[in-house]
Amino acid sequence: VNHITCALCDTVRASVTSLRTHITFRHCDEHPFHCHLCDCSFKSACDLHKHVETHNDSDAYSCDVEGCGFTSWTLRTLRQQYKTA
């Protein structure tokens, strides 16, 4: 198993890809993914996608468990609701 150490903080990662991700999220201030609906920007396309979901005018996702009534702007939050329900 390869162990690659971050030159900026001595964190050890198992792969170059994992180290690259670590550096991006822990040591870089760049936010290259910009929301086309507001002035927010993000480090990853995934984070941007989750953010864009919050621009829905109404709750886009609702729990289908009878009697629950839970609604959410994001699919991630709905999935968390299912885990706790």
Tens of pLDDT, residue by residue over 13-72, are 999 999 999 999 999 999 999 999 999 999 999 999 888 878 876 657 888 888 888 888
pLDDT of residue 14: 93
**Domain residue ranges in the chain:** 1-30, 33-84
pLDDT of residue 78: 84
CA distance 26 to 8: 10
User: Could you tell me whether strands 4-5 and 12-13 are parallel, antiparallel, or unpaired per DSSP bridges?
Assistant: antiparallel
> Quick one: pLDDT band at residue 85, thresholds 50, 70, 90?
low
DSSP 25: H
CA-based nearest residue to 42, from 59, 16, 55, 24 = 24
- Tell me the average pLDDT across 9-14: 93
User: Long-range CB contacts (< 8 A, 24+ apart) of 43-52?
Assistant: 50/74, 50/76
pLDDT of residue 58: 63
CA distance 52 to 26: 23
| Fold observed for domain 1-30 | Double Stranded RNA Binding Domain (3.30.160)
